[in-house]
């Protein structure tokens, strides 16, 4: 069989495992040693022992999580374009010499990846330190942790949400709860990973009971996001939901009217779209909800503006009757 065929099949199989939520593969020391040999020597290696222990992840061992029930299965997975999403490269102008990458966390194409900050720069760290000590508004009182935002320090694309929820408040990372998992799936559907983008919020501390942040709170916090965006210099910002849009641009028009229309923040193109939490309440990403396709249309426009290919997605036929 042609090697390219075998490789394709293997890539499909691994992609499927990743989509099922698996993160680590069992591989015996013997197989590993064989793989390290030159290609010609491979067939001399002993057969892999199936019961070999799993290779531990590089940093802290993390057991494969018992997969929680899927938030909303996406039957209409994007057909895999040549390389699987784990290896989709993004051209980041300029290259990132001063960035310190988080240690040894592989890019994982699943919505349940172990979330990390991925990368940062001293300038972004300086803002995060100021946020950590901030008492500019009342939201500082009940926070467990501040959530400054995280991701690629040289992104083409930034997502901005409203404010941290309970999971984010606990972990200090933006969009790591259910809405975050849906956002991750949307990013993967775009042919990107969370490592390619930067994700943050208009307020950095959790509003009690997940209430909408007040205009005063958003105004008090906006300088941090503004400073972050000045450093990040993305080509496009996706504003997730009405509150994020209002916090960023102080517009009064609702998200239903504005979504899909290009706006601008400090010279950066802004695409408003629905918040993933709203999508979760209106059918998730099963493809059954027209809201989902609205969001996909908006994200497709973003990809086009970035000069990136728009993966084909097929709307399911409307239910009969």
Q: Which residues bind ligand SF4 (CB under 6 A)?
A: 131, 134-137, 139-140, 146, 203-205, 217, 220-221
- Shortest gap between Cβ of 122 and ligand URA (angstroms)? 24
Sheet holding 198-201, edge to edge: 100-101, 119-120, 150-151, 198-201, 157-161, 236-240, 268-273, 263-265
Which of 32/166 has CB closer to ligand SF4? 166
Which of 116/201 has CB closer to ligand URA? 201
Q: What does 218 bind: ligand URA, ligand SF4, none (CB cut-off 5 to 8 Å by kind)? A: none
Which of 88/134 has CB closer to ligand SF4? 134
Helices (H) and strands (E) in the chain, counts: 10, 8
> What percent of the residues of the chain are helix, what percent strand, and what percent coil, each to the nearest 5?
40, 10, 50
CB 236 within 8 A of CB 198: no
Which of 28/212 has CB closer to ligand SF4? 212
Q: Residue 67 corresponds to which tokens in the numbers above? A: 């997969």
Q: What does 205 bind: ligand SF4, ligand URA, none (CB cut-off 5 to 8 Å by kind)? A: ligand SF4
In 3D space, the residue among 296, 277, 19 whose CA is nearest the CA of residue 168 turns out to be: 277
The CA distance from 105 to 118, in Å, is: 8
Q: What does 164 bind: ligand URA, ligand SF4, none (CB cut-off 5 to 8 Å by kind)? A: ligand URA
Binding site for ligand URA (CB under 6 A): 161-165, 168, 174-175, 177, 179-180, 201, 277
- Shortest gap between Cβ of 310 and ligand SF4 (angstroms)? 35
């Amino acid at each position: 069989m042609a090697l390219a065929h075998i490789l394709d099949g293997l890539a499909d199989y691994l992609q499927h495992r990743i989509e099922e939520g698996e993160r680590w593969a069992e591989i015996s020391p013997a197989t590993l040693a064989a793989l390290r040999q030159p290609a010609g020597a491979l067939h001399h290696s002993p057969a892999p022992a199936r019961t070999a222990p799993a290779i531990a992840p590089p940093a802290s061992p993390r057991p494969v999580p018992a997969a929680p029930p899927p938030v909303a299965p996406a039957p209409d997975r994007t057909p895999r374009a040549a390389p699987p999403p784990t290896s989709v490269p993004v051209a980041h102008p300029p290259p990132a010499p001063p960035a310190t990458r988080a240690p040894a966390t592989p890019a994982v194409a699943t919505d349940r990846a172990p979330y990390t900050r991925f990368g940062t720069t001293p300038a972004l760290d300086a803002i995060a330190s100021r946020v950590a000590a901030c008492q500019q508004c009342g939201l500082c009182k009940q926070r467990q942790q501040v959530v400054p935002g995280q991701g690629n320090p040289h992104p083409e694309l930034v997502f901005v949400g409203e404010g941290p929820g309970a999971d984010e408040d606990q972990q200090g990372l933006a969009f790591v709860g259910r809405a975050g998992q849906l956002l991750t799936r949307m990013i993967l559907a775009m042919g990107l990973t969370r490592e390619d983008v930067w994700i943050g919020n208009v307020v950095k501390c959790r509003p009690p009971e997940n209430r909408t942040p007040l205009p005063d709170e958003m105004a008090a916090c906006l300088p941090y996001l503004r400073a972050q965006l000045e450093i990040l210099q993305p080509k496009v910002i996706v504003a997730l939901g009405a509150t994020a849009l209002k916090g960023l641009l102080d517009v009064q028009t609702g998200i239903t009217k504005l979504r899909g229309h290009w706006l601008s923040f400090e010279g950066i193109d802004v695409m408003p779209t629905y918040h993933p939490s709203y999508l979760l309440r209106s059918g998730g990403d099963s493809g059954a909800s027209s809201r989902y396709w609205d969001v996909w249309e908006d994200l497709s426009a973003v990809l086009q503006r970035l000069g990136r290919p728009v993966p084909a997605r097929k709307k399911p036929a409307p239910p009969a009757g």
